Structure 1
Amino acid sequence: MSTFTFRDAVASDAARCYQIESTAYEGDEAATLAKIQTRIAQYPQGFLILEDAGAIVGFINSGCAHDVVMSDEDFKELIGHSADALNVVIMSVVVDPAEQGKGYATLLMREFVSRMNALGKSSIHLMCKERHVPLYQRMGYQYVKPSPSDHGGMAWHEMVMTLEG
């Protein structure tokens, strides 16, 4: 039986999170170790870790913005981030490739949405590849538009979820 725990990230999680990120994402789309360290340091309450039996198996990280511009590459380094802003921007939803297919992404997203609601946030924005659009729609996200971002040389699609706030 799996023993799941959720928690905010701490500085010592950065190396494991980078390892997962760099094996789960293609090419240049993975965040660097420095970006992950910055995200943990600047907005730990938006960096949700999922552990199974004490081992990190996945995470979601984010920042908050008053005005969301999904194609803003600087925001990935939390330039323009404001913890009190009502709009959450997810930068990574990632599960260790060895642990995929077990429903961890859905567990992470449910917990993340719950936490953002508890913080009084009004919306959650994310970009995903076309193949993930139906998954996020099932989780309650609405399709917005194809993104002008070509992050990592990939085509992206913008999605948004309105929260209870």
Structure 2
Amino acid sequence: MNIRKAKMNDLDEITAIEAECFPASEAATRKSFEGRLAVYRDYFWILEEKGKDGNKKIVSFVNGMVTDSPNLEDEMYENPNLHNEKGNWQMIFGVNTLPEYRRRGYAEKLINELIFEAKSNGRKGVVLTCKDKLVPYYSKFGFESEGVSESTHGGAVWYEMRLRF
């Protein structure tokens, strides 16, 4: 098991994992990931594991941008140029783990790494949106629910969660 930052040659694998983890209406496209990787690839935390064939395989990843905006806005998903390297808030756009690798603590390791780096970089905190069934999961990291988000991403109801440092 190894945690690392993304590279552009991870694009196809990341896109495939996203498509497996989210409904098509919510999943980021290859084009969207390409833009994100071009602008803020260091904000992709990847967990890879050696497969039975000895090759490394991405099994989980977390990604998001940094911004001064305190709230996660739908436009951020598609416009990587809204990333502000010196911003106050670390956003999380997606937490993805392949179904056959879930319930092993992989997403937790990546989220903790993201929180550690955000804190180390002097951010005010981390913001994400999630569906109501995941509010308790993110609460265990210290995120607090701020209620239903203004986001209409993918036509779903999202709850905005904030972890303040």
Computed over aligned residues only, the root mean square deviation of the Cα atoms, in angstroms, reads 1.2
TM-score by length of 2: 0.91
Counterpart amino acid of 1:38? Answer: G
Matched, 1:94 2:91: no
What runs of 5+ residues in structure 2 fail to find an aligned partner? 51-55
Distance 1:155 1:74 in 2: 16
Matched, 1:9 2:6: yes
Contact 2:71 2:127 in 1 (8 A): no
Alignment coverage as a number of residue pairs? 159
Which moved further from structure 2: 72-81 or 109-118?
Answer: 72-81
> Which residue does 1:24 correspond to in 2?
21
> Which residue does 1:136 correspond to in 2?
138
What is the identity percentage for the equivalent residue pairs of Structure 1 and Structure 2? 29
Determine which of 58, 77, 91 is the counterpart of 2:60.
58
What runs of 5+ residues in structure 1 fail to find an aligned partner? none
Q: Deviations over 1:46-102 (max 9, x none)?
A: 1111112221101111101112332x2221122422111121111111111221121
> Which residue does 2:53 correspond to in 1?
none
SS of the residue 2:87 aligns to = coil
User: Shift in Å at residue 160 of structure 1?
Assistant: 0.6
Distance 1:48 1:103 in 2: 14
> Which residue does 2:161 correspond to in 1?
159
User: Shift in Å at residue 103 of structure 1?
Assistant: 1.5
> Which residue does 1:105 correspond to in 2?
107
Q: Deviations over 1:115-135 (max 9, x none)?
A: 222222221000000000000
Contact 2:39 2:81 in 1 (8 A): no
